[in-house]
């Protein structure tokens, strides 16, 4: 037997899941923009997902994933993040190079394969961008973290996640030697443009814009 759902359907489920998580609610336009497609195409797909009972949908009134749809979405996300981890930890790709490949690998259907991969990798908790990897049953925990704008000045903290994960921001962070696990503290906040000056051990201070700061998440004690 091949995959249960087409790659396209799986991509929609994943997009809807993410938008639900972020905004609490999703619209047709949201999905269209996230998927780089047309609202009419989204509506077409909503009907198909509803027919498969993956989505609760009343036309013009809104939609959300069904229990089953959420379950399927989490399995795709699990695969996506495990493959990203594999690419970075075993094949030594950079964290800014793996997304496109994982976008294809996440559609490989064998559940047994994913579970064996998970085991091979030592059951990692988070992917190379700090995002939690759902376990075999789809369970995961959201890490408590704050973005750099909300980190108190002079408070040591460890980078634990990235919001926007475009290759562009990841490349910028690479350049400034900011990676997952990097320990740093905010030394100064400039009220003029909300830019920040950071200190990383054994490095000279670096400056980042408000836009970057909003997308770097850290955790810290106390």
- CA-wise closest residue to 80 among 110, 119, 109, 106: 106
Residue 178 C-beta: closest distance to a copy of itself, Å? 24
How many angstroms separate the CA atoms of 53 and 55, rounded?
5
Residue 61 Cα to chain centre, angstroms: 28
Map tokens 């379950």 to a residue: 71
How many angstroms separate the CA atoms of 70 and 54, rounded?
8
CA angle 148, 154, 159 (to 5 degrees): 40
Question: How many chain residues interact with a copy of itself (CB under 8 A)?
Answer: 18
- CA-wise closest residue to 76 among 148, 120, 133, 116: 133
Say which entry of Mn ion, DNA, a copy of itself, none residue 40 contacts (CB below 5 to 8 A, set by partner kind): DNA
Is 199:184 a contact under the CB 8 Å cutoff? yes
Q: Quick check: helix, strand or coil at residue 219?
A: strand
- Nearer of residues 11 and 75 to Mn ion, judged by Cβ: 11
**What part of residues 83-102 is at the interface with Mn ion (CB under 5 A)?**
84
Q: Is 66 in the site for DNA (CB under 7 A)?
A: no
Q: Is 110 in the site for a copy of itself (CB under 8 A)?
A: yes
Say which entry of a copy of itself, DNA, Mn ion, none residue 39 contacts (CB below 5 to 8 A, set by partner kind): DNA
139 CB neighbour count, 10 Å cutoff? 9
Is 210:150 a contact under the CB 8 Å cutoff? no
Q: Is 104 in the site for a copy of itself (CB under 8 A)?
A: yes
Q: Which of 12, 65, 127, 162 binds Mn ion (CB under 5 A)?
A: 127
Residue 3 C-beta: closest distance to a copy of itself, Å? 8
- Nearer of residues 58 and 100 to a copy of itself, judged by Cβ: 100
Residue 61 C-beta: closest distance to DNA, Å? 6
Q: Which two tokens stand for residue 106?
A: 């996440």
Q: Which stretch binds Mn ion (CB under 5 A): 47-55, 79-87, 152-160, 166-174?
A: 79-87
The residues of the shown chain that bind a copy of itself, judged by CB under 8 A, are 2-3, 87, 90-93, 100-101, 104-105, 108-110, 113, 116-117, 120
The residues of the shown chain that bind Mn ion, judged by CB under 5 A, are 11, 84, 103, 127, 129
């Amino acid at each position: 037997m091949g995959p249960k759902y087409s790659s396209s359907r799986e991509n929609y489920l994943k997009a809807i899941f993410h938008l639900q998580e972020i905004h609490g609610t999703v619209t047709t336009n949201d999905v269209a923009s996230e998927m780089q497609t047309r609202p009419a195409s989204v509506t077409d797909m909503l009907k198909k997902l509803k027919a498969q009972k993956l989505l609760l949908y009343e036309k013009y009134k809104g939609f959300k994933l069904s229990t089953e749809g959420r379950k399927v979405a989490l399995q795709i996300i699990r695969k996506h993040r495990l493959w990203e981890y594999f690419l970075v930890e075993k094949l030594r790709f950079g964290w800014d190079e793996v997304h496109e490949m994982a976008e294809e690998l996440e559609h490989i259907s064998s559940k047994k394969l994913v579970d064996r991969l998970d085991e091979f990798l030592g059951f990692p908790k988070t992917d190379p961008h700090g995002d939690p990897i759902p376990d075999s049953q789809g369970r995961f925990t959201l890490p408590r973290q704050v973005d750099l704008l909300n980190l108190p000045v002079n408070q040591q903290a460890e980078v634990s996640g990235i919001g926007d994960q475009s290759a562009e921001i990841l490349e910028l962070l690479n350049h400034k030697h900011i990676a997952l696990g990097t320990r740093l503290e905010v030394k100064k906040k400039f009220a003029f443009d909300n830019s920040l000056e950071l200190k990383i051990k054994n490095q000279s201070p670096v400056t980042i814009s408000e836009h970057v700061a909003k997308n770097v998440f850290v955790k810290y004690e106390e």
